[in-house]
Structure 1
Amino acid sequence: MIPSQMIVFLVIFLQSYISLAYDPDPVNDYCIPRTEFSSIFLSCKNTSLVTVDDFIYSGIKDPGNFKHTGFSSIPVSSTVFPGLNTLGMSFVRADFDVDGVNVPHFHPRATETAFVLEGKIYSGFVDSGNRVFAKVLEKGEVMVFPKGLVHFQMNVGDSPATILGSFNSQNPGLVKIPSAVFGTGIKEELLMKAFGLNDKEIAKLRKKFVPQ
């Protein structure tokens, strides 16, 4: 028979695990962070000091610079838009040149919905059974990418395209597969065996994806 103390411990552990698995629910209407003493959000502003400007962000009115790489993204989190703090959401503007690609990636802490503002985007994700769900989306269409699943996008139109993405987390996280695999310190021998590549091919990929 399990001791009562152990049962209590297990209940507390499970409750803590569930709580940590998602953004916590806010305990106030909003929490505009005070940052005058530190870059770390330590507390909320006094509500008498909060203005409408704290809830407005203008940083994605214009597209990012996508001409060099074919793709750009402008993340909008509480770091740049304090009004989002504690509300469990964030978003991103992504701009694509013709043939521009948002490489396979995933967000470990959030589901994403992607709305095509302009253009035609080949968009999809891969589930845990390696099944691909992909389709060309046109202006006005929305696709959802389940939390933690690899997804991707490519502009297949004949003009620049734009997507607005929304996340159900204040800090969704971002792991780009090419950079995570070839731009980190994974042993070269392992990569050669995993992908069937030789040392020169691995070196070329490392040079491309290692942060400069």
Structure 2
Amino acid sequence: MNNLVVFFALFLLVSVSHAIELDFCVGDTTLPRGPQGFACKDSANVTTDDFVYTGFRGERTTSTNVYRFNVTLAFVNQFPALNGLGISMARLDLGVGGVIPVHSHRTSEVIIVTRGSILAGFIDARNNAYYRRLEVGDVMIFPKSMLHFQVNVGSIPAIAIVSLNGANPAVQFTMNSLFAGNLPANMAEQITLLSNEEVTRMRGLFDNA
């Protein structure tokens, strides 16, 4: 028992020492990404600019897809300073009536509305839907891996900023996965119970989404 306690104490010390070995690890995106992220950029070449992201500035066009939305990512690929920090962000722009369709991440997500009115919600594993109309300054949490969505229910374009607890949380849009990928049409019919005609229509719609 004492040996086990000593082992875990040493393991904890090693873990802590490893965690504070580097102040930061700006990702070197010219090298392949590993399971833990990118290798660190040479600290001699790191500047203040590495820690500043300006990609959220300016206006966005939301009329180029069927959903009437525009998403600007600040994941580790776009903002390498996030490498190893377990956080990321994104800006959501929704035209009037625009939708961020049902999707999921491998992380949890927090949303704060900065313009307009957005109906936001998620669906849990028991198929219970939790949703609320959010106004400017309102915040909502979407638990890890839950299907969630946002809809502009106001009369002006809406903007929200989201934060996720992962540097590369990924995004999987449910409808695009079913109808815009390489899943054969006959399989899509079987797993959705939709007719061939409807699957064909959906593939034509979401293939260009």
- TM-score, scaled relative to structure 1: 0.80
Corresponding residue number in structure 1 for 2:27: 33
SS at match of 1:83: helix
Alignment of 1:47-126 (within 5 A): 47-69=43-65, 70-107=68-105, 109-126=106-123
Check whether the contact 2:31–2:39 (CA below 8 A) recurs between aligned residues: no
Change (3 A) 1:103 1:40: same
SS at match of 1:181: helix
Distance 1:189 1:79 in 2: 35
Check whether the contact 2:28–2:80 (CA below 8 A) recurs between aligned residues: no
Change (3 A) 1:197 1:44: closer
Change (3 A) 1:147 1:50: same
Q: CA deviation at 1:27?
A: 4.3
Check whether the contact 1:106–1:174 (CA below 8 A) recurs between aligned residues: yes
Check whether the contact 1:118–1:161 (CA below 8 A) recurs between aligned residues: yes
Greater CA deviation, 201-210 or 167-176?
A: 201-210
1:147 lines up with 2:141 in the alignment:
no
- TM-score, scaled relative to structure 2: 0.81
Check whether the contact 2:27–2:82 (CA below 8 A) recurs between aligned residues: no
Alignment coverage as a number of residue pairs: 189
Check whether the contact 2:185–2:196 (CA below 8 A) recurs between aligned residues: yes
Q: CA deviation at 1:33?
A: 2.9
Check whether the contact 2:104–2:171 (CA below 8 A) recurs between aligned residues: yes
Percent of aligned positions with the same letter in both sequences? 33
| Long gaps (5+) in structure 1 | 1-23
Query: 1:117-142 CA deviation, whole Å, 9 max, x = no partner?
Result: 11100100000000000010000001
- Runs of 4+ aligned residues of structure 1 deviating over 6 Å after TM superposition are none
Distance 2:134 2:77 in 1: 30
Distance 1:176 1:95 in 2: 17
Change (3 A) 1:180 1:51: same
SS at match of 1:152: strand
| Long gaps (5+) in structure 2 | 1-17
Change (3 A) 1:142 1:48: same
SS at match of 2:113: strand
